[in-house]
Structure 1
Amino acid sequence: MDFEQEVEKHLFYIKSSAVLVSIVTLPLLILWITSLYRVRRENDPARVAFTYMNVAFALTILWADSFPEQVEVSLTSFTTPASRAWGDFPDHLNDLSTRLDTLSTALLDVTDVFLILTLFELGNGFLILCLNEDNEQRVLNEFEELEAWDTLLLVVWSIASVLLFAYASFVVRKARDKPLLLSSAMMFLVATILNLTNPARHLAMAILGLDKDIYLLTSDYYIADTILDYWVRFFTLVLVFIVGVRKDDGLWTTPPQQPESTKGECDTSQKSEQYEELLEGMAHDEKEEKASQG
């Protein structure tokens, strides 16, 4: 395969990736706008989770807005006459491409942090109801600030995602005997499984050394990276959004209890009926006694 064919192949990957991102960008924007007024947070044991969800929505949309610029720079770089060999791009295009790639990576990293926070807080909401607790329990106290995409961060991300999956399994087990919670708890479990795919993929690539081959990542794995990086986050947010919308229809519903005032009224009425029956019995006995004397 000559150089021109390699360029055409790479341009195909870039354009295909742009199409995949554009397909879900508009639905993601619609879901975010809808969640701002549909997902209410009053008296909600998981209200912090849906605040984090809206932040994750916004960051993902911001990343999607920057993606066309990355595609345009890549297309310009590969179609510029001066770039007749790999990496031989004009300096200003190379600098712009590096800056856009850095911005994109930072946005996705921060999105992952808020996504993990969202799922942990959502799990707290389920446990509060299952365990009948009044105050929210914080499972996640703090996260390390993401400064670079290195091996240590990847390990932390992977461990957190595995713990999150185990946590979701525990939540689902607690909600098994609560029909109003079980279906939404299962969505929460599926969301944690989707969240686990990205760190598992990156960790496997790091172990196999595939992350060292830049050309391999930007050609054969270009479309797969786009689907797993962007679409997985999209479907995870969709599941959390569905849980947030459904909560007004019974997700946080608890069995109705009889108010104390109603109980008091019932007790008073019962006592009044018993008192009237007692008076009637006494009057009847008095009549019988007079009749026997006469």
Structure 2
Amino acid sequence: MSDIGSSGIPDGNTYAHYTVGAIVLYGIFVTPLFILWCISLCIARRKGDPARAGIAWIKAVYPLWILYLVLHTIGYALRLWTYLVEYDNDVFSSRSDFTTISRAVSQASDRFYDIARLFMYLANILLLIAFFELSNGFLLCLNGGTPPPLQKRLRYAILSFALLVFALAIAYLGTGEQFYSTYYDYLALPGVDSAIEVKLANEANTSNRLGAAVDILLWIASLPAIGYASLVVHQTKNHPPLHDPAILLLASTALASLRLLCLMIITARYFLDPSQAFIPPYVTLTVGPLFDAVCMFVVLVLLFTLAARKQKGLWSVPPPQWAAPAWVPSMGVAAPAPAGQPGMVWQGPGAYQSQQPQPQPQPYYYYPPPQQMGGYPQPQQGAGYPHEVPPNLQTPRELEQQQGVSGLKAPAA
């Protein structure tokens, strides 16, 4: 929000140089993010995929953030125009013409700022929800499809918090629009009215404090998101297919929290001393865009990488090596002994053969290691060594005695 009558404010020429940098920082990421958003829409998630909820929230973040960048770029471009033509007397035929057009352009620029900031708040809210939903998806995989005990309560808590922050964001937009309407109406008056100036100062402080409150609450909410992502990384440390995506989730969550921390520090001055809350242009037009636009772009790229690691779902496809057939040794072959020699001769073990594929249950989203599934060959009982007769084989004489006793030969009298 603009400060009225603050001392020590740089002139328009100084602001113009910083504004050019802000336009570049905000406008340069519009095209690549739009491309990533279009690609993400083509990667469909199957019903029941644990990553589907989180990825759906991420897909909703992209258009909101793109609108924020576009509106912010337009607002800065309009403001830059007023700075550049302020000292050019050849542009307008009279000073009154310049004043009228300049006020109209400045008013449009300020309203673009406020609407853009609302889209930024919405994108931040949806991004936090996406972080929690992705963490829930990881834990859902680890539990074999059983939802974590606190998943429903955590979901209700984050949605309730999101509604609270959204209400504050709407209030910020409303008070900001009211301030600008009063301010530009006051500029059109011929004289000075101290009562209106006091009203303007109060409306500006109210709007600025609401915006700062939203920034602070969003940063506070990012801390549990980091803790939840850290828990996911710890829980998946023995599961490589889940551990690598979990690290990407933790990195993106930490970077998003750093960005929110920077924005909170910039706007926290409105709570400390609103009357001295003038922020230098190199902070609002250079440091702020660096942490705001650049960090958010990196976060969205990391989340896009996380979402696109497997086109059929993050964890719905087991690694290829787990699909290899298990190899087990075949049972040895017993053959009749040569003539004149009683018993059987052990011919040694047969060649290794591929076990017939068994019908597998439909995979969920994460398969346990093969040794937990019984996929590795188990030792066969009675296989013996090549030079031994297995204990479960009987000689022909033993078979003949058993069969003869049962009725092939009449018992002796």
TM-score normalised according to structure 2 size: 0.57
Q: Deviations over 1:237-258 (max 9, x none)?
A: 1111111111447731476796
Matched, 1:125 2:137: yes
1:1-294 alignment to 2 at 5 Å?
A: 6-81=11-86, 90-135=102-147, 137-138=151-152, 139-141=154-156, 142=159, 143=162, 144=164, 145=166, 146-147=169-170, 148=172, 149-207=210-268, 213-216=277-280, 218-248=281-311, 251-253=314-316, 259=360, 285-286=402-403
Q: Deviations over 1:91-142 (max 9, x none)?
A: 2122112211111111101110111111111111011112224347242322
Per the TM alignment, residue 230 of structure 1 is displaced from its structure 2 partner at its CA by: 1.4
Q: Deviations over 1:30-80 (max 9, x none)?
A: 110000112424331121111111110011111222233212211221123
Going from structure 1 to structure 2, the CA distance change for 1:40 and 1:93 (only over 3 Å counts) comes to same
Per the TM alignment, residue 21 of structure 1 is displaced from its structure 2 partner at its CA by: 2.4
Structure 2 residues not aligned, in runs of 5+ = 1-7, 90-98, 173-209, 323-357, 362-392
In structure 1, how many angstroms separate the alpha carbons of the residues matched to 2:307 and 2:313? 11
Count of paired positions: 270
In structure 1, how many angstroms separate the alpha carbons of the residues matched to 2:52 and 2:23? 34
Choose 280-289 or 40-49, whichever is displaced more.
280-289
Choose 193-202 or 280-289, whichever is displaced more.
280-289
**Percent of residue pairs bearing the same amino acid type:** 22
In structure 2, how many angstroms separate the alpha carbons of the residues matched to 1:64 and 1:258? 52
Structure 1 residues not aligned, in runs of 5+ = 261-276
Amino acid at match of 2:246: A
In structure 2, how many angstroms separate the alpha carbons of the residues matched to 1:120 and 1:129? 15
Higher helix share goes to which structure? 1
In structure 2, how many angstroms separate the alpha carbons of the residues matched to 1:12 and 1:284? 108
In structure 1, how many angstroms separate the alpha carbons of the residues matched to 2:117 and 2:88? 25
- 8 Å CA contact 2:16–2:84 kept in 1: the answer is no
In structure 1, how many angstroms separate the alpha carbons of the residues matched to 2:243 and 2:134? 14
Q: Deviations over 1:163-212 (max 9, x none)?
A: 11111111111111111001100000001101101331233334555985
- 8 Å CA contact 1:180–1:250 kept in 2: the answer is no
In structure 1, how many angstroms separate the alpha carbons of the residues matched to 2:260 and 2:86? 39
Going from structure 1 to structure 2, the CA distance change for 1:39 and 1:226 (only over 3 Å counts) comes to farther
TM-score normalised according to structure 1 size: 0.78
| Higher Rg of the two aligned structures | 2
- 8 Å CA contact 1:20–1:226 kept in 2: the answer is yes
In structure 1, how many angstroms separate the alpha carbons of the residues matched to 2:260 and 2:279? 21
Q: Deviations over 1:150-172 (max 9, x none)?
A: 44333321221011111111111
Going from structure 1 to structure 2, the CA distance change for 1:247 and 1:43 (only over 3 Å counts) comes to farther
- 8 Å CA contact 1:36–1:54 kept in 2: the answer is yes
Q: Secondary structure at the match of 2:155?
A: coil
Q: Secondary structure at the match of 1:173?
A: helix
In structure 2, how many angstroms separate the alpha carbons of the residues matched to 1:123 and 1:191? 12
Going from structure 1 to structure 2, the CA distance change for 1:253 and 1:46 (only over 3 Å counts) comes to closer
RMSD, aligned α-carbons: 3.5
